[in-house]
A and B are shown apart, each in its own frame.
Chain A
Amino acid sequence: MENETLTEIRSAVDIVTARQRGRALALDLGFSGGDVTLIAAAISEVARNIVDHAKQGQIVMHRIHGKGDPGIQIIATDEGPGISDVAQAMQYGYSTRKGLGVGLPGAKWLMDEFDIISHVGKGTTVTMKKWLR
């Protein structure tokens, strides 16, 4: 099985594709069924944010190696409007539209590492990792 996948995100259907690819990669890496579902849920949230807030972008997922343990890294990037106040966007329940506002904080809780870089007018990159242990 390939160790890296790239999924273009343009519509809601692509969210399902990204989730399924992430699930397959995580299973291949040896993650348990429970962890695979957590990873799929995190992918779903960041992919949905691309569709909802940036219209399009992409998600790259690949195997990584930490200090001994392998893991999965998911990078979601877009060239959408960006986020002016990232700390606020990370707050549970904060949404600039009709959303539940749990996507970003939720994805952070689901994963081991979570990093978001955003520039207004340039776009957003979310990098998430989960380690196999």
Chain B
Amino acid sequence: MLQVPILKQGGYLIASIQSVLSDADLLQLRDNLAERVGRFRSRGVIIDVTVLDVIDSFATRMLRAIAHMLKLRGAETVIVGIQPDVAFAMVQLGLTLEGVGTALDLEEGLAYLNTRTKQLPGHGK
């Protein structure tokens, strides 16, 4: 079962994490995104983590790995919706999403991708 629905919007993919994820779900997300970026020739991917209660070292490593892998497949990744408490815990843990774009919410995530992929808003639809 697909734990993380992936929507196609224009030239982008939006993966919205729905619940607390197990490691297997994160691995599946990585594989599904890689496959779809190839299939749809997507230029950008938004991963919405608003509902995640914790982003620990494993999740951080996975999100970084997903972003790096998608980059090799030609797509930019932006993580949106990291909650303030979750961000604070990440800082306390010494975790960074180095090299991975982050934005406040979906709207800002789209704006980020539009800039990064040099598309004007409305293009790539």
Could you tell me which A residues sit within 8 Å of B by CB distance? 12-13, 15-16, 19-20, 23, 33-34, 36-38, 40-41, 44-45, 48, 92, 99-100, 102-103, 105-107, 109-110
Contact = CB atoms under 8 A, between A and B. Distances in A.
A44 B61 contact: no
Contact of A102 (B23, B24, B53, B57): B57
Interface string B23-54: 11000000000000000000000000000011
Contact of B22 (A13, A92, A109): A13
Interface residues of B, number: 22
B20 interface: yes
A23 B104 CA distance: 25
Interface of B: 20-24, 53-54, 56-58, 60-61, 84-86, 88-90, 92-95
Contacts of A33: 85
Contact of A12 (B24, B86, B89): B24
Given A37-B53, A45-B57, A106 B95 contact: yes
